[in-house]
Structures are given as structure tokens and as C-alpha cells.
Structure 1
């Protein structure tokens, strides 16, 4: 009995010692985490960089080493004849502690290594986007350019800059940009249009974020957030697939772009038995882009709307088979560079598999209207008669109109 008591006392002492050694502070608010396994399992490669490491989480991988030379090249290009980097290093040293708190896990780099990494990565982001603007404007030729001589490399670099685990603090990028920018009227936001698809003038002034992915997310969702800001909070429900909705008498149409108005890619509406959905172009980069946007939203506070996750949940409800993908393609809602409808369905299925339910659902009103329509006895009767054969359907439709 005494032996058992002795073991118990040892355990108590051990736990007390652990508690004394444990130090926890809730003051730091990380922005970047390792992507959770529940998200990563459907397509792990969607979160891993192909060409460049930004930040510490993928630093040192052998397949990314080649781009380290271009980071040095861009730094030398920025400095020009001057070899002094003092002002840049000093600016980052002043932000080092807050930059470490930016990451959820402890970063195993000493002060000099950490500052050097932030300097090279931040300068690469700025100089790459500046050079993109010059190439696009015809001021720099693509032929012979170490990076822009290959459209594939440029495409993959743009993809890698949008990875959730491949980020550094926006405060670092902004500080370096202010030091390197000779035109005080320009802002870093003026450079991000290759990542948003919007022209430079379309970036909202209040689009702020803690890193580049968050900034692009803010810009891409801004107009939709403005539309939804006056609506009540809806809870998440469900709707039937595109095939079932058509059988219930609902027409699915591509939402037209209106000249002079910002038709948000997220703005799905339902009016007079018609579901209007903006066209979605699916390419090789689509899955990675959406998955990293979902990962970003996954770690946001629960009170903040998750617009991209809600959008993918909507598409996932509509597309329960390749037949639904075909329906949406024929309606002009989905266009694809991937190949057949089965490939499109597989992408949407993976994207929607681990989209989590949130307190607020952006399309709750649309779902409610659709379900009200499908639940109407007249609409159910119309749908049943429509599927009963062309002759009976014609006679029934005339009878319904007379009634």
C-alpha cells in the first residue's frame, strides 16, 4: 500500500513540476500555422511550394534551393551600386519579435538567420511583382529574363506566393517597400494585381491583412462582403444537386457581367425560379488557390464570415456527381481547362470535403429561397409532371396554366 502511495506522490510532484515549467501567454496572436491534417489529407501537394520558399516553414527544401540565387539577385538589383543593407536590416531587427509571434510554432533560427530570411524573402516579393509590372507594360523584355523568360515559372511563383504556409508578415513587406520605393505616392497594394486579377485601381483602400494571402483574400472578397454586410446572420443548411434543382423547375444561369459594375465572383442569387451563378474558370492552379484560401479562413476567429468556404460548400452541394458538373458546364457556370466533367467534379469534391460549418453562412438566404421553392406543392407537382413524359407533361402544363 505504501508503495502505491509513494508512486502517487511522485506523480503529483512530477505534475507540479511540469506546471511550474509551463509558460503560456495568450497575448500573441499567430497568423500562420501548419495546415491541419484534416485539410491536408485530401491533397497534400496543394499546400507545398513548387519553386520558392517564403518564410521558415518550407525553408531549406532541396527542390527550392535554385530560387535562393534569385533572391540574392533581386537584393543586389535593388541595392544597385550601393552595397549597404544597413537600413533594411535595422528595420527588420526592430520587427523581429513581432515577426516571430506571427508563426504558431517556434522558429528554430537565431536572430541573424531569421532577419536574413525575412530580408531576402520580402525583397523577392517586392522585386518580383515590380518586374511583373514592367514586363506587362513592355518596359522589360521577357526573352532572356532569368524568371520571366518562362511563363510556367512565373505561373508557379504566383501560385507559391498564395500558399498559406508560405507567408511572411505584411509589416515586413510594407517596411521594406517603403525603404525601397522612391515614389512616395505608390503603395505595395498597387503591385498585387497579378495575384488578384483586378486592375490596380480596383484594390479597395481598406483592404488590410497580416500577410500577402490575407491581402489577396480581402481584395477578392471585398465587394461581396459589402453586399452581405446589411444581411442578417443565416445558419447553414443544404440544397439539392444541380440535376435535382433543374428537375424541380429551377433554371440555372450564368450571372452576366454588368458594364461599370463590380459583379463579384461570389455573388450567387436566386430570383423567380432562376439561380444566377457567376462563371468559374477551373485551371490547374484552381484547387491549390481555393485550398489555401480555405486554410486561411479555417484559422480566422469564428466570428468572421468565411466567404470562400461558404462558396465552396455551395458548389459542393450543387455538384454531387459528374452529371451535375455537366449541367453546370452547359449552363455556362463552369468552364474548365482540366478536361472532362469527371475531372471538374473530382476537384470540387476534394475542395468541399472538409469545408467546416460556421456560425454565419453567406448563402443562407439563397438556400432558404431555393428550399421554399422546392417544398411548394405546386412546384413539386410541376416537376413530377415534367418527368412523366413529353405528352403528359404538355397536357399538364396547359392544365396548370388554365388553373
Structure 2
């Protein structure tokens, strides 16, 4: 496009800016972007029932549409109301409908079912005592070694029952985490909550995303899953440790990190423990020289031979004198 005057460009831009949607910040239901869908698109597709407008017209979901109406009828009968006289919490089931009602714990509005699940699963910012100083420090994201490497560096893992699913603690070489059951639905559950957090437009920490990133750091292979299963942090209902490792290694693909990383303090403590000269040396010895049961047996055999040789030498010397 050519402009005869410089002012025409600024006028056109100003006009386009004025035409921008005023409701962008009010949106609460988003389509999962293609980069997340490309990793595993099936996790974002309903198989039985459509909730909301995006999937309601799909042929494979039509068999449940009548059931939805029956449940609506039962709900209205129980409330002794009709469609015209009430704004029921289920009117988000209809195409174009929007669900808005307040929770008992705060005036925040629940926008849809996924928002309800997310809001009731994560702790509030007040519960984790997130202050300005911590937010500033969280901007430096780091990584930690895998469970196998940390075990080699004298880190122990322990299951800890807690009402806060995201409560992870590390002190004096001991990492404590709440238990996690891995089943068929686990990947889809995490993927949908992670996708939802990708569209946060405020400074809320991404608890689910950061928790999965923590597990992804700890899990590189089936050996790491085996360690976490033995200490009952992970309960593998899928059976195959390699499958579980692959799930967590792929969960954060195409996921944008948030500047407010929840586990910065944990990562700092773990890396400080791993970085000591003594623990580094122990980790290197275990990784390079004692990485299998046969290596231990070979070491013990060599130690036994050396001990016998020394004993024989001492005994011979005593006989001479």
C-alpha cells in the first residue's frame, strides 16, 4: 500500500487500533493452539459428551445430546423452575452460552468447567505466601538433575501426604513430595490444565505447568520412574515405566514458561546440595564405576583379593622376623 502523505499511515494505524476487540481481555474460553495440539491432539477432543460450543456439532457426540436435555429437565424439576424463569449454572452447555457464578471462597467468577477444576485444584497465592520479593526472584529459572543422578549424589526421595498437592520440600538432602497416581487419564488431565494456564493474562503462577516441569526435570528415563515408584511418590497404574517417562518428557513440549516459577527455591537448594565437591565426587563414582550390580561385585572381588594379598604379605613378613 502506498501513502502520499506520512500522516495517512498514522491515521490508518490509529483507525485499526480503534477497531481492535474490546473484549479480548474478557475471554475465558480459548482454542488450544496448534503447537500444543500437534504433540497429542486427542487429549483435547471429547469422546463422549460436548460441554460448551466448540464440539457440540460433531457427529460422534450427538448421541449424548438427548441425555444432556434429560439431565437439564431433571435439574429444572428438582429446582422447580423452567428454562425461561431461571439462569441455571448449566446454560454454558448450549452453543454461545456463558457460565458465570461465584465460588464460596472468593468473589472470583468461575467461567467454565475447566476453570472450576483448575481453581479448586491449585492453592491460592495467599496460601503459598507469594510476595513481591519472591516473584522477582522467580524470574531466574533453572533446572535440576534427574532422580537417578540426584540419588547418586546422596539425595533421598520420600512420599509426604499433604492437602496441598503442589507442596514439595527439600532439606538436608531429602526431597519430600505428595504421591501421584499415573493412569490412562493423567496425560489428558495435565495437558488441558497446562493449556488453560498458557492463556493467563495476569501474574498468577502456573502451578500445574511448573509442577509438571519439576517432574520432567526429575524424570529422564524408566530408571527415574523406578526410583520414584520405590519411594511411593509415583504409583504407576500403567505398568510400563518407559511409557510414563515418555509422557512427562513430552508434556512440556511447546509450552511457554512463566516468569514466576513456583519451585525456584527448591531448585536452588537441590543444586546447592548437588554442587558440593563431596556429593559431585560420589555422583561421578556411582555413575561411572558403580552403575550396575556387576560393578559392585567386581569392586568387592578386587577388594577381597587386595585384602588377601596384603594379609599374605604381612604374614610372610612376620615369619621372617
- The TM tier, using the shorter chain, reads 0.7 to 0.9
The CA deviation string for residues 231-277 of structure 1, in whole angstroms up to 9 with x for no partner, is 7122211011111111111111212x2xxxx5311111111101112
The CA deviation string for residues 341-360 of structure 1, in whole angstroms up to 9 with x for no partner, is 01111211221223322111
The answer to which of 322-331 and 264-273 deviates more is 322-331
Match of 2:99 in 1: 170
Let me know the Cα RMSD of the aligned residues: 3.4
Q: CA deviation at 1:37?
A: 1.1
Match of 2:134 in 1: 232
Q: Where do 4+ consecutive residues of structure 1 move more than 6 Å?
A: 12-19
Match of 1:156 in 2: none
Output the CA distance in 1 between the equivalents of 2:265 and 2:3. 59
Do 2:48 and 2:61's aligned partners in 1 also have CA atoms closer than 8 Å? yes
Match of 1:64 in 2: 61
Match of 1:364 in 2: 264
Note the residue ranges of structure 1 that are not aligned, 5 or more in a row.
1-6, 96-117, 123-165, 175-187, 190-203, 396-403
Partner of 2:106, secondary structure, is coil
Output the CA distance in 2 between the equivalents of 1:77 and 1:295. 33
CA distance 1:327–1:271, change in 2 (3 Å): same
Match of 1:86 in 2: 84
Output the CA distance in 1 between the equivalents of 2:97 and 2:266. 37
Q: CA deviation at 1:64?
A: 0.6
For these two proteins, the number of residue pairs brought into alignment is 283
Q: CA deviation at 1:77?
A: 2.3
Output the CA distance in 1 between the equivalents of 2:62 and 2:15. 42
Match of 1:330 in 2: 230
Output the CA distance in 2 between the equivalents of 1:281 and 1:167. 36
Do 1:312 and 1:352's aligned partners in 2 also have CA atoms closer than 8 Å? yes
Match of 1:23 in 2: 19
Match of 1:4 in 2: none
Which of 148, 157, 174 does residue 274 from structure 1 map onto? 174
Match of 1:289 in 2: 189
Q: CA deviation at 1:321?
A: 1.5
Output the CA distance in 2 between the equivalents of 1:353 and 1:270. 27
Do 2:92 and 2:99's aligned partners in 1 also have CA atoms closer than 8 Å? no
Structure with higher Rg: it is 2
CA distance 1:168–1:278, change in 2 (3 Å): farther
Q: CA deviation at 1:169?
A: 3.5
Output the CA distance in 2 between the equivalents of 1:225 and 1:311. 18
The CA deviation string for residues 197-229 of structure 1, in whole angstroms up to 9 with x for no partner, is xxxxxxx72384322211221211126861242
Match of 1:35 in 2: 32
Partner of 2:127, secondary structure, is helix
Match of 2:43 in 1: 46
Match of 2:93 in 1: 121
Do 1:313 and 1:355's aligned partners in 2 also have CA atoms closer than 8 Å? no
Output the CA distance in 2 between the equivalents of 1:268 and 1:310. 12
Output the CA distance in 2 between the equivalents of 1:303 and 1:224. 10
Match of 2:279 in 1: 379
Which of 117, 120, 129 does residue 219 from structure 1 map onto? 120
Match of 1:75 in 2: 72
Match of 2:152 in 1: 247
Match of 1:130 in 2: none
Note the residue ranges of structure 2 that are not aligned, 5 or more in a row.
291-295, 304-321
CA distance 1:167–1:249, change in 2 (3 Å): farther
Question: What TM-score do the two structures reach when normalised by structure 2?
Answer: 0.76
How do 1:307-326 residues align onto structure 2 when only pairs under 5 Å count?
A: 307-326=207-226
Question: What TM-score do the two structures reach when normalised by structure 1?
Answer: 0.62
CA distance 1:223–1:279, change in 2 (3 Å): farther
Output the CA distance in 2 between the equivalents of 1:217 and 1:168. 20
Match of 1:126 in 2: none
CA distance 1:55–1:307, change in 2 (3 Å): same
